[in-house]
Structure 1
Amino acid sequence: MAWPLSCTLSLLTLIILQSTPSPVAAQNSGNISVGQSLTAKINGTSWLSPSKHFAFGFHRLPNRGDLFLLAIWYANIPDTIVWHANDGNPVPRGSSVKITANEGLVLTDPQGTNLWNTSSELIGDGGWVSYGFMNDTGNFALKRSSNSIPVWQSFDHPTDTLLPGQSLEVDGSINSRLSETNYTTGRFQYHLTEDGIMALNTRDLSTGYLYSAYYISDPGNPGQTQRYVYNESGYMYILRKDGSVHNMLPDGYTPSQDQYQRLILSSDGILIWYSASKASISDGWFRFQVLPENMCIGSSPANLGVGICGSNNLCILGDNKRPMCERAQGYSLIDPNVQYGGCKPDFKLQNCEDYADRSMNGEYSLVQLQNTDFVNNDYERVDSRSEADCKDSCLKDCFCAAASFSLYGSNSGGWKKAPLFNGKKDSSVNYNFFWIKVRSVNMSNDPLNPFVTVTPNGKMTTPIKVLFGSSVSVNLLLLVAIGFGLYFIYHKKKLKKSNEGQRKTLREYSHVHYFSYQELNEATYGFKEELGRGAFGVVYKGMVSGGGPSIYVAVKKLDRISSDTDKEFKTEVNVIGQTHHKNLVQLVGFCKEGDQRLLVYEYMSNGSLADYLFGDMRPSWVDRVQIAQGTATGLLYLHEECSTQIIHCDIKPQNILLDEYHNARISDFGLAKLLVLNQTHTNTAIRGTKGYVAPEWFRNKPVTVKVDVYSFGVLLLEIICCRKSVCMELVEEEAAVLTDWAFDCYLSNKLDVLVNDDMEALKDMIRLKRFVMVALWCIQEDPSLRPTMRTVTQMLDGLAESTTDDIDQQIKEELCGTKGVLGYQELNEATYGFKEELGRGAFGVVYKGMIRGGGPSICVAVKKLDRVSSDTAKEFKTEVNVIGQTHHKNLVQLVGFCKEGDQRLLVYEYMSNAIRGTKGYVAPEWFRNKPVTVKVDVFGVLLLEIICCQKSVCMELVEEEAVILTDWAFDCYLSNKQDLLVNDDMEALKDIIRLKRFVMVALWCIQEDPSLRPTM
């Protein structure tokens, strides 16, 4: 009987479907053919092992936004990662991994840049990779054929975990991750030595140097060790060449095939064996062994590095047998987010100058700690007759940071030097006494009299004890005498006595001196020689005696005393008095007498950076590099290395002074904002100088240290170019605003134009490019996109990559919009052969075009750069990164770019609406291709003109700072100089409340962000 045609076709179809492996079938078998790939995305797919025990793919990191880790994990326990690629560095959404024939696994970012591959690790005699295989053991392998050994496998390149079926050869190791959420290599290593010992060591992160082991297994058999084996049955042992084994599992433990097992070196240096029931995954992991039992006490060889918890930090064993870190009294974490990162003192470090006298006067004291020691930190062993003798000798020695004393044996003890390493606190530490030295004064109470004596444990001082220990009659007489004394002081000599008390206290405990007004009047010869003028006063040159030879000083005399000015004065004394750094101007002293407020600084013989940069002679490139690096280092100190974090708020060349060696010294802390250590931002009124003020000041957003980073970016460009940030007298209009000009020059690779053919700088082209790139990164509109000053200093010193690695992740999503990388032919067709010209700029011609962005066609403006040298792919990509991240006020949305041969093209959104309005009155959104609303009319320029009777731009004015009315109004409002703004219009000044309100409304109306402007 003949088969119906439909049945025949159905059978053929079934045969074809069964003979053609589908992606699901290939995935279920564990095999992945060459050419297959995975993409990092939310709810993305992965390559599973045949029994679906393990998965290979992109694992989304929790609390890290759109960052993914290329990894292997338990398919049923996805939060447990057992292996990761790319040195633990995450990649952005849109990245992909692909199996290729010649390189094996290839990891690329969204732009196609190769981030990591296995090509250099392939073994064998050549040939091609045929397929990949995700094994049920958790091992991902690349193979040439089904019966060949792998040419690469993840088991040969372990990270922080060992799985059954895995082994380590001699000198093989696993390394901890940096933290629970940071998978880059951490501080601890577990490895097999040539002597057959498994050892746990701390390692130096920068060099990889291994310190002495804090745990070792039983003695091995030197020369006889073959490998460390964790077999598929779950047994773990050291295999020797004679076939014998040394068991490494806990006594009495028998592994089971019904359980998942793994060994991990945790981020805090603990080796942990885990097991979990395959049938009851929800029960989680069971921890059946931890080594060492007590990491904090461990062994005590001489070479332990800084210890488990870092310097000045104590290691304590937690309830879960994992180490915890406890700060010593008087110390706080360097980084509040890293408990193993070490601690810094909360007090000013001891100075050996006149130390003995100061220590005997009670400036330092010893605080007793129980069951505590800092191992191998002694610099002196001492024989003491008693506890008091040991304490007294340590207090008298300026290098002694801590001391120990034991009644056992010979009554001996040790002095510890700072910083204190390998701290531990445990009941096994049996010193009778251990003390740590702290300062007995509190430097944070009263800004103008900050040195108030503090006694440990809240105990009363001796005079108070005497007072209350005397008879009642004596006490009454004392109280009456004190009352009359206070009355007399208050009514007769209040100011003088207060000043003398401050002077005595400050001279006794600090380098900051109190001066009388008469002393400073004489020191400056009646305030005769003026050095300069600031926002709040005039600076004069003077000479004072510091108890030795006379020294030159700069005396800042504050004028217009008001509550604001007095606040600035207290801030500056409080801040500078606590800072000590080679790149900060040292405060010598101050005067607060009646209405007089004066600050006395070191005298800087080479004046300000503004005078040096903008003078007739251009400074050498070497000097400018040194000044930039010094300024960055000073800011890093203020932001991260002070006991109280400081935001300077007014970084500009006028506030950078130069000493006799042209070292940069940051000055003028009058606007400084202090943050306590657990704060990250503050809210305050607008501060700073126009041209250097970060955008967040105007947007009612939290102010962080990133406002200083922005100002430093502008300053760095001025240092590079030896010109002011705004220079209206230049012939080239496009060069008037330095930040815009630098952006254009960098984009078109015209750094010679930027530095005005400075041959010294051009011969150092690599550093010049890096400096410009750093500056552009610093002036990002979004504070979160700016680097920290630590990163800036590292980049300026050439110790870190500039912006490429940090910004690459965001190119397609935040920069390239709908299209990304475009071909030259595609753009040639889109513009009909570059036919319709829209305009010409300094660096190329702009053409109108039409491209398809995955949906309807859109109009674009294609900028074709001319005279562009042949850059590498990395360099051009960096340029594109800078454009996309800068959010420049005169740029519209970047759609994509083209780099093909010598061709460099940038594709922007086409502005369909012509800009309407008159120059000087046009709202910013006209330039940004944003929706135009009624807020374009709410633009306060007209109101300012009405208030001031002045045009919005008036080039003929003598005062350069008053040329642009909006900037001038901002400056006048900031410094409370409304009289200057209205040119002493008495009628307006008599109505000062209304005047202030009108100016404030005008400034509110000219916010760059339309949503921040008021309605009419």
Structure 2
Amino acid sequence: MKRDHFISMHYFIIIFFVLSISSLVTAQQRQSNISRGSSLTPTGTSSWMSSSGLYAFGFYQRDNGYAVGIFLAGIPDKTVVWTANRDDSPVSGNANLLFTAATGKLVLKTAQGEDTNIADVSQTASSASMLDTGNFVLYNSGGKVIWESFSSPTDTLLPTQRLSVGMQLISSVSETNQSTSLYSFGLYMQPDGNLVQYPSDYRTVPAAYYASGTDGMGDKISLNLDIDGNLYLLNATDYKVKNITEEVYATRRTIYLARIDWDGIFRLYSYNLDNNSWSVPWNSTSDRCGPRGLCGINMFCISHDLEPGCSCLPGFAPVIQEKWTPGCERNFTAESCKNKDRKYTIQEEVNTIWEDLPYSVLSQMSKEDCRQACLEDCNCEVALYKDGKCKKQRLPLKYGRRSSQSDVNIALVKVEETSHDRILPTREGKKEISKDTIIIIISCLFSLLVVNVAILGIIHHRYRASSYRRISYNGNINFCGDIAPRSFSYAELERMTDGFKEEIGRGSSGTVYKGTMMNDVDKFVAAKRLQKVLSTSEKEFQTEIKVIGRAHHRNLLRLLGYSIDGPNKVLVYEYMSNGSLADILFTPERQLNWVERMGIARDIARGILYLHDECETQIIHCDIKPQNILMDQNGCAKVSDFGLAKLMKPDETKTFTGIRGTRGYVAPEWHRKLPVTVKVDVYSFGVVLLEIICCRKNLDQSLLDDQIILEEWVYQCFEGGKLDQLVGVEEVEARQLERIIKVALWCILDEPSLRPSMKKVLLMLEGTVDIPTPPNPTSFISTI
């Protein structure tokens, strides 16, 4: 009896404690109460903040106007998590959001006098609140919630929010436009308990591209996201029936949200408040071409540089240029297939996967037999051939994507044979000028334009010829320092460096000396006296100097000038007071923390990206290594020693050249005498990134045998799930470490075409794109 009394008292205390906490939480949430009669405008008081200031409800900028929604206000970039009436057009700066005093309605009033309800409620609201959970709620006079944004989600699920049966998340048009479209994607909590992703306009089983596999669990299942970033399914008794994500060990000061993005992939995002960076701990698929309907009808998806792209079937053209979702249509006007004057042929598209809806299936056929069968069938527009089966289909084809496998369909597409003389009818039935006639007219006009430009060019050349003759062959031209490097005499450099007295560095191509500018003794320079120059003519050497001298970027070491005085060749750079990255990485007492090292990695990536994609002349650095990354007084990393890099001509994407670079950082294609591309710099960057992660050299004979070669040891740790060994005692968030390791492993793949571009590398480092699991760096060897 006493025991029962004790248990009863124990339960009473627990219930009292829970109720007390609940009351306290409610009181805290009500601190941001909004009373009737309150209002917002886009240009005045534009939002109502939660008590912590993390979330806000109100106006945010969209396109050329404003929309009403909820966004993360406590981070540098406003991240919209909910939008009211998301498919309505943006409003002007004269709009007004009212929590009306008389009726207790939340109403958006436009400048034209139109009223739109933000919250559809039958009761009168007495007050409102923007909660710290990201939920905006309306209360009645009794303090009961009568409406909440959590019950009407758009594309985002926030911690403590539930996606119950019958509810859905629908993707936005783009990252900046939160409206939906005919071609959006949906995440649905189905009545059978299955969590499924479909293209929003094709909710059928063949169109599904993700499912939780919980069908049959009943209509009380809900998707939940907790504050630690765990996604899971609960039943009616709040029993966890399935973990959607692996258990996440949340770090301090981290915000989580889950979103179905414009590309159809459901992603879990985390935002670290300490280093202001986003990452993606989980996504529903790592295949960017996985979502059905990412490419429109008669299109197939191709993964290129870890990004999706869409291509039309042969004989088809985009309905709208530069837009994927509307799909493709035939590039000729189709007439009755019984028209004997129309001639058709077959074009192939190999290794593609499509929605399988044939109207006829023929077995035990060769590809040629299948081709002929489609040509002879008036209704056959495409035949999918695989393993002796010929599946004849009508248009449109849907859910196309290129596969890396070689045993998938060959699409045999019926196209019209080229007919140059036929005049095509328009959709209105009117006649158009023949294609040949149009081509002839355009060619004549273009030829006339070229002739006129050539005449003007000759006149201009003759007019300026005398000026060019005054330029001496040795190229001693003085440019403004803000435009191009200055030409110094060797005697000037001797005075600037006090006879090349103070040596501050030495490399394979020359020795670096400290100096001062002649007209500014407080401005230091680094003069590199070259011991040898690549075998190139004097004029070509000067051209390269001037082109690279115009490459200005905060993450590139500035080339200030040069001297070409017979055999004496000197390059003059801005002076870096903090030495090289090698000095920092490989000197224990100078090593930086993880956040600082990742900042340096992003700096280097930005510098290389500028050389590859943003210079007027594309530059391959050819010698990326820590010794060539210099640090300024503010800790900003600058890529140096690109003065003798390989310049690419405008029409070049690859080139043959002798091996350049440093052992350990040189990409494999150099040794195979293959043409080199910008991907050699990506490889070198990957090695440097591993060194930045691990604070050690890529080759260290003093370590254990399995740790001597850095990239091999890293991949062993990656495969074995022992990444913590790479950073020693330093505390690094596990998922962030894994993410950066993946970036490096993709960069050092032996096959150049599989390495990402530097643009992609930077996006991955910044946490804005997904990173698939990389293969073993040496598992793909080029057979070119």
Structure ranking higher in helix proportion: 1
- Report the structure number with the largest CA radius of gyration: 1
Structure with more relative contact order (C-alpha pairs < 8 Å, separation 6 or more): 2
Scaled by the length of structure 1, what TM-score is found?
0.37
Scaled by the length of structure 2, what TM-score is found?
0.48
